[in-house]
Amino acid sequence: MARLKRQIHGGNIYAASRELGRDLAKLIDFSASINPLGPSPRVWRAIANARPLLAHYPDPDCWELRQTVAKLWQRSPSHIVIGNGSTELIDALPRALRIRHLLVVQPTFSEYGASMARIGGRVSAVFATRTEQYAQPIDGLCRLIEQRRTGSDAFQGVMLCNPNSPSGQACSVDDVGRLARAAQRCGVWLMVDEAFADYCPERSFIPQSSSWPRVVILRSLTKFYALPGLRIGYAVAQPTVIDLVRRQVPPWSVNAMGQVAALAALEDLAHARKSMQFMTKERERFGNLLGALPGCSVMPTQANYFFIELPRGRHAGEVTEQLRNEGLLIRDCSSVPGCNARSIRLAVRSRQENDRLIRVLSNLLHHETLS
């Protein structure tokens, strides 16, 4: 187990626009993995119709949205809390559940460590390895939970990102079940971040989670529903846990437009189907093109992004900078604990945008290989 360092995020198109002196619309953002089809057309209509709501406080209970989410998962609304993005809930959980020491699997999303740092807590990590293509080390995690010594120094919570970012690897429902069993036996909280699980619904643990009082599942409407600017996420857990989380979240944190848009997005099953069909096809095509680039290793993915190792002799930071100068933003993962200096993450975007990235990256790698 090792200590964590603080990380930065992808998706800051505003900073890139200022620094490059380029219009936002002239940038292509491969660093945040958002559904390239955009939000459901129903979202635009719902927002336009909801304009009068701006003159009121938003519903602090997110009543309608919780009804819809509850129906989706065949649970009671008392099992659901909505947050200002799942990030708000990631921030609230350690305080709500009195977690002072968290165990994570690196490489992973940096906000788990950041939320612990904000409360002066501690984070330990186990590492997924390159030789296993960064598959989640479930056996190792189960062992650590089972062998955990009780005492003030022991971890009280485990955060699993499934599918994991940046690796794209996802474990099965059975694997999460094994972790849930170990966590229950040992009195540990198991939090599963399913921000990207819309892309592999058969791996979601939500349908099983009601049997496990120590399991909390996090979902986000940022990625698959393409609403990053509105900030909507939710947690599914037992009502007592949901109450604890709600007490840690400021009132009215979920804005009115976000609530209305999320409702419309979740109800548009046709757009969801179309999004999934597009991603399944385009991810395969883009993955094959990336795999054909000289010296690039492409890891298996269950999400809407690829975790890639650049050819030997290349540095992720340098390539990120070169692509950025062309208006193509990618995620440099070289500073994420457990990644190496050649690690990058690329979102799957539209066919045309993906082709543009392949062209520029291919030129760059060929050119540098020859020079």
Ligand X SMILES: Cc1ncc(COP(=O)(O)O)c(C=O)c1O
299 vs 365, which CB is nearer to ligand X? 299
If the CB atoms of residues 220 and 320 are measured against ligand X, the closer one turns out to be 220
Q: What is the DSSP string of 294-363?
A: TT-EE---SSSEEEEEPPTT--HHHHHHHHHHTTEE-EE-TTSTT--TTEEEEE---HHHHHHHHHHHHH
Query: In this complex, which beta carbon is closest to ligand X, that of residue 72 or of residue 360?
Result: 72
Q: How far is the CB of 300 from ligand X (least distance, A)?
A: 17
CB proximity list for 93: less than 8 A, separation 6 or greater: 99, 115, 157, 189, 191, 216, 235, 245, 248
Cα distance from N-terminal residue to C-terminal residue, the chain? 41
CB of 33 to ligand X, least distance (A): 7
Q: How far is the CB of 11 from ligand X (least distance, A)?
A: 7
Rounded to a whole number of angstroms, the CA Rg of the chain reads 20
- Nearest by Cα to 257 from 279, 225, 227, 236: 227
Question: Which helix H or strand E contains 237, and what residues bound it?
Answer: none
- Measured from the CB of residue 111, what is the shortest distance to ligand X in angstroms? 6
Judge residue 50's burial from the number of C-beta atoms within 10 Å of its C-beta, 0-12 exposed, 13-18 middle, 19 or more buried.
Answer: middle
Name which of 29 and 193 has its Cβ closer to ligand X. 193
Residue type, 29: D
Choose between 104 and 256: whose C-beta lies nearer to ligand X. 104
CB of 112 to ligand X, least distance (A): 9
Question: In angstroms, what is the minimal distance from the CB of 341 to ligand X?
Answer: 21
According to DSSP H, which parts of 189-293 are helical? 206-209, 239-246, 256-267, 269-291
The size of the chain, in residues, is 371
Footprint on this chain of ligand X (rule: CB under 6 A):
85-87, 109, 161, 165, 193, 195, 220, 222, 228, 233
Comparing every residue's Cβ against ligand X, the nearest one is 85
Q: Which residue's CB is nearer to ligand X, number 7 or number 172?
A: 7
Which of 34, 310 has the CB closer to ligand X?
Answer: 34
Rounded to the nearest whole angstrom, what is the least distance from the CB of residue 196 to ligand X in the complex? 6
